């Protein structure tokens, strides 16, 4: 083993040395053993069992609350007129936003040839799927009669009425369902080679059958890899505009209306930046404990965490810019209704939530300017949790402050959450974490095939660098003669 592989700190910024993405003495076999070992160990770690017990109980609370809602009606929530959207849509936008980090890591970083994505993309894609499941729940239940949700789709029906396609709410149906489908495909396609690895290592018949069927009979054929890589790159290229479009469409739900505080053209880019910001914070919130509990520090290295902290800092600044630009436009436009909305946001009855949002989203990430903070996992975790809180409150501020103070004081109202609102929100975290913990235990949580191909044994330096695979990353030039000599 060369000394290069024994480096245990890869956070250096010396441009003459390529930072290794896998630390310690690792080879193809040890990576396989490490990742498959999580799934194959006979008993899960105690922390996993405890976490699953808690999150499954919260999921039960969620279903109890939804059952109560269906039986009784939307009145069990604090929603009213004028605040007809409150926790339900806040939770929806929050969870959809969380989902954006997964596709960003898997698609956009893939196209930008950011090889460090390989250790975290599977994890983040799984998180996306589960977050979008939680998100999809809320619009479904807030319509009040979820058994009529099929009215949202253009299905021929006995009423002979079609959905109204000029409404952003209908665009949302298409955007979120497409996003879910494409994210699921992306996640699954990337997982096929790793499912084949789990199948080939299976020691029980049940595992062999289940992983065998899921792996579709993948056998690592060179001809299959060729089409696989092409399909994967095309999916990344398709998912990239998709991820930007989904939160833009979600922001149209607000921006296309004529309510002060909603009717603004900055919303699509502002929402997309916020979604990436919140999503990366959630990836960090989950990744840091998992990485240390499952001892994956040599695969998910400090450099990975540092890179994500930098993205949180950058997107946090974009969000901060959007906040200040909204205030600026409220003043500069000279529109009294708009100006009042922003005065009310900062100093009105919900002013505390505005300042909570600003401190968590704009001020807290500023500590990431310091390298010491960016390379201290518990400090990153702390900031990430604050950002999660801040991003939930951002949606709450946008929705509730604008709705509660309309144009005419006679139409003003206020919103107070009921216990059902709070328990439903807590329950959605339970559902998210339950799905996530089950994936950790039963699925390949690190993309083994991708991590292996960025290791020295992956043979990146061999062969001509045209055609498939070149987007895995750049190649150190000093090795290029090697293949010719071996021939």
Here the tokens at position 357 are 């949002």
Per-residue contact track with other proteins, 51 to 80, x per CB under 8 A? ------------------------------
Smallest distance from other proteins to CB 358, Å: 31
Residue 247 vs residues 98, 244, 451: alpha-carbon distances, Å: 11, 6, 30
Nearer Cβ to other proteins, position 3 or 164?
A: 164
Q: Which stretch binds other proteins (CB under 8 A): 179-187, 353-361, 375-383, 421-429?
A: 179-187
Report which secondary-structure segment, H or E, holds 456: none
Q: 138 and 89 in contact (C-beta within 8 Å)?
A: yes
Q: 62 and 430 in contact (C-beta within 8 Å)?
A: yes
Residues numbered 7 to 36 that lie near other proteins (CB under 8 A) are: 27-29, 32
Smallest distance from other proteins to CB 160, Å: 7
Smallest distance from other proteins to CB 475, Å: 8
Report which secondary-structure segment, H or E, holds 409: none
CA torsion sign for 33, 37, 42, 47 is positive
Q: Which stretch binds other proteins (CB under 8 A): 210-218, 315-323, 370-378, 417-425?
A: 210-218
- Cα distance between residue 323 and residue 359, in whole Å: 12
Residue 320 CB neighbour total at 10 angstroms: 18
Residues numbered 423 to 482 that lie near other proteins (CB under 8 A) are: 448-450, 452-453, 457-460, 462-470, 472, 482
Question: Is 108 a binder of other proteins (CB under 8 A)?
Answer: no
- Cα distance between residue 309 and residue 317, in whole Å: 12
DSSP line for 267-288: HHHHHHHHHHHHHHHHHHHHHH
Nearer Cβ to other proteins, position 235 or 294?
A: 235
Residues numbered 241 to 260 that lie near other proteins (CB under 8 A) are: 241-242, 245, 249, 252
Question: Is 111 a binder of other proteins (CB under 8 A)?
Answer: no
Residue 85 CB neighbour total at 10 angstroms: 20
Smallest distance from other proteins to CB 137, Å: 20
Here the tokens at position 95 are 């969870």
Nearer Cβ to other proteins, position 186 or 271?
A: 186
Per-residue contact track with other proteins, 395 to 424, x per CB under 8 A? ------------------------------
Nearer Cβ to other proteins, position 201 or 343?
A: 201
Q: Which stretch binds other proteins (CB under 8 A): 126-134, 220-228, 309-317, 396-404?
A: 220-228
Nearer Cβ to other proteins, position 42 or 464?
A: 464
The 3-state DSSP class for residue 179 equals: helix
Smallest distance from other proteins to CB 465, Å: 6
Residues numbered 137 to 176 that lie near other proteins (CB under 8 A) are: 154, 160-166, 168, 170-171, 174-175
Give me the helix-helix angle, 168-200 and 205-214, nearest 10°.
130
Question: Is 212 a binder of other proteins (CB under 8 A)?
Answer: yes
Considering only residues 218, 262, 270, 396, which one is a binding residue for other proteins as defined by CB under 8 A?
218
Considering only residues 226, 328, 349, 411, which one is a binding residue for other proteins as defined by CB under 8 A?
226
With 0-12 / 13-18 / 19 or more C-beta atoms within 10 angstroms meaning exposed / middle / buried, residue 382 is: middle
Here the tokens at position 146 are 């979820």
Nearer Cβ to other proteins, position 201 or 441?
A: 201
- Cα distance between residue 129 and residue 127, in whole Å: 6
């Amino acid at each position: 083993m060369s000394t290069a592989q024994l480096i245990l700190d890869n956070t250096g910024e010396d441009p003459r040395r390529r930072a290794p993405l896998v630390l310690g003495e690792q080879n193809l076999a040890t990576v396989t053993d490490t990742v498959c070992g999580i799934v194959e160990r006979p008993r899960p770690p105690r922390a996993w069992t405890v976490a699953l017990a808690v999150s499954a109980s919260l999921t039960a609370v969620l279903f109890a609350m939804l059952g109560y809602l269906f039986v009784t009606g939307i009145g069990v929530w604090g929603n009213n007129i004028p605040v007809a959207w409150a926790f339900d849509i806040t939770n929806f936008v929050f969870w959809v936003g969380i989902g954006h980090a997964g596709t960003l890591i898997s698609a956009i970083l893939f196209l930008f040839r950011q090889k460090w994505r390989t250790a975290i993309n599977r994890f983040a894609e799984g998180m996306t799927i589960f977050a979008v499941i939680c998100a999809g729940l809320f619009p479904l239940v807030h319509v009040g009669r979820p058994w009529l949700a099929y009215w949202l789709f253009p299905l021929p029906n006995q009423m002979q009425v079609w959905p109204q396609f000029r409404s952003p709410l209908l665009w949302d149906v298409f955007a979120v369902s497409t996003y879910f489908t494409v994210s699921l495909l992306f996640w699954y396609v990337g997982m096929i080679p790793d499912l084949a690895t789990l199948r080939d290592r299976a020691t029980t018949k049940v595992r062999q059958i289940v992983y065998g069927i899921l792996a579709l009979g993948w056998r690592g054929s060179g001809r299959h890899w060729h089409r696989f890589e092409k399909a994967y790159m095309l999916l990344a290229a398709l998912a990239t505009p998709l991820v930007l479009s989904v939160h833009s469409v979600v922001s149209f739900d607000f921006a296309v209306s004529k309510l002060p505080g909603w009717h603004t053209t900055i919303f699509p880019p502002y929402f997309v930046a916020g979604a990436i910001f919140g999503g990366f914070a959630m990836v960090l919130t989950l990744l840091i404990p998992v990485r240390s509990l499952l001892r994956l520090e040599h695969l998910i290295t400090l450099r990975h965490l540092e890179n994500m902290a930098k993205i949180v800092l950058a997107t946090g600044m974009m969000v901060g810019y959007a906040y200040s630009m909204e205030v600026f436009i409220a003043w500069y436009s000279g529109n009294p209704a708009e100006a009042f909305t922003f005065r009310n946001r900062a100093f009105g009855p919900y002013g505390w939530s505005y300042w909570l949002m600003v401190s968590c989203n704009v001020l807290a990430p500023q500590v990431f300017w310091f390298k010491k903070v960016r390379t201290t996992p518990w400090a990153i975790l702390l900031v990430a949790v604050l950002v999660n809180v801040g991003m939930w409150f951002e949606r709450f501020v946008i929705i509730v402050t604008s709705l509660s103070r309309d144009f005419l004081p006679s139409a003003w109202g206020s919103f107070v959450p009921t216990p059902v609102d709070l328990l439903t929100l807590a329950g959605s975290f339970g559902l998210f974490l339950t799905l996530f913990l089950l994936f950790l235990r039963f699925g390949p949580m690190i993309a083994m095939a991708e991590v292996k191909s960025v290791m020295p044994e992956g043979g990146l330096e061999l062969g001509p660098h045209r055609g498939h695979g070149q987007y895995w990353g750049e190649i150190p030039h000093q090795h290029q003669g090697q293949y010719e000599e071996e021939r």
